[in-house]
Amino acid sequence: MGTSIAQLKRGQKGIIKEFADDLLPIKLLELGCLPGNEVELVQVAPLKDPLYINVNGSHIAIRRSMAQMIEIDLIEDIPSV
Amino acid sequence: MSKQINVALIGNPNTGKTSVFNQLTGLNQKVGNYPGITVEKKEGICKLPRGVKAHILDLPGTYSLNTTSLDESVAVELLLNKNAKDHPDVAIVISDVENLKRNLFLFTQIKDLKIPTILVINMADRMSRKGITLDIDLLEKKLDTKIALVSTRKKVGIDRLKELIADYKNLSVAPNVDTTVIAPEYFKSLRETFPNEDLYKLWLVITQDVNFMPLEKNLVKDSSSFNTKSKSELKRLQQKETIKRYQFINSILKETYKVDINAAKGLKATLDKILTHKIFGYLIFFVILLTIFQAIYDWSSIPMDFIDETFASASEWVKTTLPPGMLTNLIAEGILSGIGGIVIFIPQIAFLFLFISLLEESGYMSRVVFLMDRVMRPFGLSGKSVVPLISGTACAIPAVMATRTIENWKERLITILVTPFTTCSARLPVYLIIIALVIPEGRFFGLGYQALTLMLLYLIGFGAAIISAMVLNKVLTIKTRTFFVMEMPNYKLPLIKNVTYTVWEKTKSFVLGAGKIILAISIILWFLGSNGFTDKYVNAESIVENRIEKEGLSSYNQESIAYNLSIYQESLNDSIAKNVYHLAPEQLIDSTNQLKQTLLDKAKNQEIASYKLENSYIGNMGKAIEPLVKPLGYDWKIGIALITSFAAREVFVSTLATIYSVGSDEEDTIKNRMAAEVNADTKKPLFNLASGISLLLFYAFAMQCMSTLAIVKRETNSWRWPLAQLVFMSLFAYIVALVAYQILK
């Protein structure tokens, strides 16, 4: 397994690679969560779940279990926070 | 034929679709349901230029034509079915300027159905603040459509939109994207099998998750002449389609849509940081909930007292003005007290929906869901269940309907089943009156005992919902694939117009829906309470007079008369001592005797009336169940109120109002009348701490709302679930109330 959205830190970004297509709802894709798009972890809910991401300009919340299925390439400029 | 054009508004959630609808139709709108299902149907009439009229339909919000819920499938079905009554002549896609890319996804899908489509780009007032520039002319050309740049907040662009609708015949119906390229072979065989059907429409029918339009779907299934694809293959194709559409959209927006990144960030990020913070987030949410309680309990008491007094004096006025008789009694005691019992809720309902619509409109509700999802999940509930559970504090009926947004059937069913435990506004009048009677007025750290009790009851209701959800989560063995995808919309200042419409709509639906039942039951009760069939009822007066002659008045009445007289004498003596009056001793005795006679007559009349009631139809019904409710600390009058509460809980108060006003010749407020009620066995006030708490708990848990049962039946499509709710909740309520009374008494 490579890196997934679930492993991002707050404010960190990545580029979506492939994902296990059968398990992900089409709705996620329609909201812009497609391979090649940039994804940023905006906020993590208090109990570490769900995750609030910004993908392709869409601000959406997904559960950690779903985030783990979306593989990404990290963008390596970690903001100095 | 009439010149009325059918227009459908469609768009993503949170694009201000409802605002556009409100601007187009004003007050010419009505809200109903689609036949057979409970998806809300909003329609209205709009006057267009050149004398044309348009019928506007506000479709449920959806992100695409690939449906995952019943709400969305309503929208899709209407667009696909050319024979439907409301099939649009023109579709208006509402988009939000900040999320144009995602909004255009839906637009291209509708355009490909070859329906004339207008694009509305809403929230234009935010463009400059967000650093967005748009080339509208080029965008119109590329998308092959007409665009109206609208700001509902600034009321700009609606006239242009009306112009475009009136002119809909000039819109192009050419598709945007050629879907067939994602699987040429497959679409070719589709084309050969169904030469007369539109290909993209067929494709949508085949790929729907929600099984709608069964006929057409079967048609596709039955024809063996083309190779059907497996579910995962179809899904892959849908993915391809999605990518293809975004490619198309991206290439267009690259030329027409510019955004200055530096201007875009800001408020949303800051607010999100605070509102979803692990401490402040919950703190703010808790403060908001507390404010809502305060509003319902405290602020609304001012208009409620006014309503209470107005109806009491109106009833009094009717009795003194109209000639005495059956009709006068019907108006004063049946109709007026019934209407009063409805109107009195309006302030609370209005306050609650004011808050709920503010939370929804501002975009805060999504943050609540985000905060609560992980907390709710162990109980088998979705973060989205928070919305129905909160709405349930107003009324379980819209709340059960609000569960439609939950995609997962098991989570949805559990939410439906436990929502009636949350403290709905119909319980509130019961709670308020009993709390006022049995809970002392003291304060605890500045918070009143009474307010704290109410808060506690809300928490108990919520707790019961949570615990039964947990049990149901274990018991129910429904396997469903769970997914949770929720948009976090931009924060918006709520539009007063939208909030007002919501409050108005909810209040209206309560008054017209629940109100009818309340009024009808008030009148039936009045009839049952003032008519009887036994000899005892018919000869009530002579029987009671005989009894008083032989045994005297009831001890409570004797004591109360003696007490009143002593107070009267004391105050007279006091006044004489202070030289306010100058009374001879004989005058003093005279005046005291006069008062005594008045009090005796009044007591006699009360005893006759109460004897009549005891032997009326309703008295017989109440007595029949008395053995059942006595262990809970109730008498047969409360028994009657329990029976009638099964129609709707709030009837409890108006039942008691009717019962007691039948038994009293002066219009005391209901509360004072209840406080004077005596337990026949103990001769102490009937409403004491033990019986009061027992009643509060009974009402907290019992399923006493026919309307909720009906809506649950419709939402679950089976009598099994509402019946289970009825039996389980009522039994549970009985046991808890029994235990509470036996311990406290």
CA distance B78 to B57: 10
Top residue of B132, B377, B384, B484 to mutate, by most chain A CBs within 10 Å, is B484
The pLDDT confidence band at residue B457, using thresholds 50, 70 and 90, is very high
Provide mean pLDDT across the span B221-242. Answer: 70
For the CA atoms of B79, B81, B87, B92, the dihedral, rounded to the nearest 10 degrees, stands at 10
Task: Quote the pLDDT of residue B647.
Answer: 62
Mean pLDDT score of chain B: 82
Task: Quote the pLDDT of residue B131.
Answer: 82
**Which chain B residue lies closest to A42 (C-alpha atoms)?**
B269
- Residue B672 buriedness (CB in 10 A; 0-12 / 13-18 / 19+): exposed
Minimal C-alpha gap between B370 and chain A (Å): 7
Nearest to A59 among B243, B484, B488 (CB): B488
Q: Is B102 on the interface with A (CB under 8 A)?
A: yes
**A45·B489 Cβ contact <8 A:** no
Least confident of B10-24, B136-150, B680-694: B680-694
A33 assigned to some structural domain: yes
Domain harbouring A61, CATH code: 2.30.30.90
Contacts for B98 with CB less than 8 Å, ≥ 6 apart: A57, B123, B126, B130, B132, B490
Two tokens, residue A13 = 């970004």
A62 assigned to some structural domain: yes
Nearest to A31 among B63, B235, B268 (CB): B63
CA distance B562 to B550: 19
Two tokens, residue B131 = 């650093």
Contacts for B165 with CB less than 8 Å, ≥ 6 apart: B5, B7, B46, B48, B54, B90, B92, B118
Two tokens, residue B242 = 């999605």
Nearest to A58 among B238, B370, B487 (CB): B487
Residues of chain B with C-beta less than 8 angstroms from the C-beta of A31: 63, 102, 485, 487
**A27·B235 Cβ contact <8 A:** no
With 70 as the cut, is the pLDDT of residue B39 above it? no
Q: Please count the other Cβ atoms lying within 10 Å of the Cβ belonging to residue B291.
A: 12
Task: Quote the pLDDT of residue B737.
Answer: 95
CA distance B32 to B481: 32
Provide mean pLDDT across the span B174-197. Answer: 83
**Which chain B residue lies closest to A18 (C-alpha atoms)?**
B239
CA distance B736 to B658: 28
**B370·A27 Cβ contact <8 A:** no
Domains of chain B: 5-170 (3.40.50.300), 180-256 (no CATH), 280-496 (no CATH), 532-744 (no CATH)
Domain that holds residue A25: 3-74
Minimal C-alpha gap between B64 and chain A (Å): 7
B contact residues 292-331, partner A, Cβ 8 Å cutoff: none
**Which chain A residue lies closest to B491 (C-alpha atoms)?**
A59
pLDDT per residue as tens digits for the range B483-533? 778 888 888 888 888 888 888 877 777 677 667 766 877 788 778 877 877
pLDDT per residue as tens digits for the range B421-438? 998 878 888 888 888 888
Q: How many CA atoms lie within 13 A of B621 on its CB side?
A: 15
A contact residues 1-20, partner B, Cβ 8 Å cutoff: none
Q: Is A43 on the interface with B (CB under 8 A)?
A: yes
Nearest to B487 among A21, A25, A60 (CB): A60
With 70 as the cut, is the pLDDT of residue A7 above it? yes
Provide mean pLDDT across the span B138-146. Answer: 91
Least confident of B27-36, B168-177, B614-623: B27-36
A80 assigned to some structural domain: no
**A21·B101 Cβ contact <8 A:** no
Contacts for B567 with CB less than 8 Å, ≥ 6 apart: none
CA distance A16 to A74: 9
With 60 as the cut, is the pLDDT of residue B698 above it? yes
Q: Is B265 on the interface with A (CB under 8 A)?
A: no
Q: Is B272 on the interface with A (CB under 8 A)?
A: yes
Residues of chain A with C-beta less than 8 angstroms from the C-beta of B486: 60-62
A14 assigned to some structural domain: yes
The pLDDT confidence band at residue B700, using thresholds 50, 70 and 90, is very high
Asked if residue B98 lies in contact with residue B124, where contact means CB atoms within 8 angstroms, the answer is: no
**Which chain B residue lies closest to A36 (C-alpha atoms)?**
B243
A69 assigned to some structural domain: yes
Asked if residue B506 lies in contact with residue B594, where contact means CB atoms within 8 angstroms, the answer is: no
Asked if residue B253 lies in contact with residue B246, where contact means CB atoms within 8 angstroms, the answer is: no
User: What percent of chain B is modeled with pLDDT above 90?
Assistant: 17
Q: Is B269 on the interface with A (CB under 8 A)?
A: yes
Q: Is A61 on the interface with B (CB under 8 A)?
A: yes
Nearest to A45 among B63, B68, B374 (CB): B374
Q: What is the DSSP letter of B152?
A: T
CA distance B27 to B171: 29
Minimal C-alpha gap between B488 and chain A (Å): 5
Residues of chain B with C-beta less than 8 angstroms from the C-beta of A35: 243
Q: Is A21 on the interface with B (CB under 8 A)?
A: yes
pLDDT per residue as tens digits for the range B53-103? 999 999 988 888 887 777 777 888 888 887 778 889 999 999 988 888 889
Task: Quote the pLDDT of residue A28.
Answer: 84
User: What percent of chain B is modeled with pLDDT above 70?
Assistant: 89
Task: Quote the pLDDT of residue B665.
Answer: 38
CA distance B298 to B304: 10
pLDDT per residue as tens digits for the range A28-38? 888 888 888 88
The ipTM value here is 0.90
CA distance B145 to B172: 6
**A45·B371 Cβ contact <8 A:** yes
Nearest to A31 among B281, B485, B489 (CB): B485
**Which chain B residue lies closest to A60 (C-alpha atoms)?**
B487
**B235·A22 Cβ contact <8 A:** yes
The pLDDT confidence band at residue B215, using thresholds 50, 70 and 90, is very low
**Which chain B residue lies closest to A61 (C-alpha atoms)?**
B486
Task: Quote the pLDDT of residue B668.
Answer: 47
Top residue of A27, A44, A62 to mutate, by most chain B CBs within 10 Å, is A27
Nearest to A52 among B282, B488, B490 (CB): B488
Provide mean pLDDT across the span B339-357. Answer: 80
B contact residues 242-261, partner A, Cβ 8 Å cutoff: 242-243, 246
With 50 as the cut, is the pLDDT of residue B214 above it? no
Strands (E), chain A: 3-4, 13-19, 38-44, 51-55, 58-62, 70-74
How does strand B29-33 pair with strand A58-62? unpaired
Residue type, B100: L
Nearest to B278 among A28, A46, A50 (CB): A46
How many independent structural domains does chain A possess? 1
SS (H, E, C) B603-635: HHHHHHHHHHHHCCHHHHHHHHHHHHHHHHCCC
With 90 as the cut, is the pLDDT of residue B732 above it? yes
Provide mean pLDDT across the span B23-45. Answer: 75
A79 assigned to some structural domain: no
Contacts for B537 with CB less than 8 Å, ≥ 6 apart: B531, B612, B615, B616
A81 assigned to some structural domain: no
For the CA atoms of B593, B596, B601, B605, the dihedral, rounded to the nearest 10 degrees, stands at 180
With 60 as the cut, is the pLDDT of residue A81 above it? no
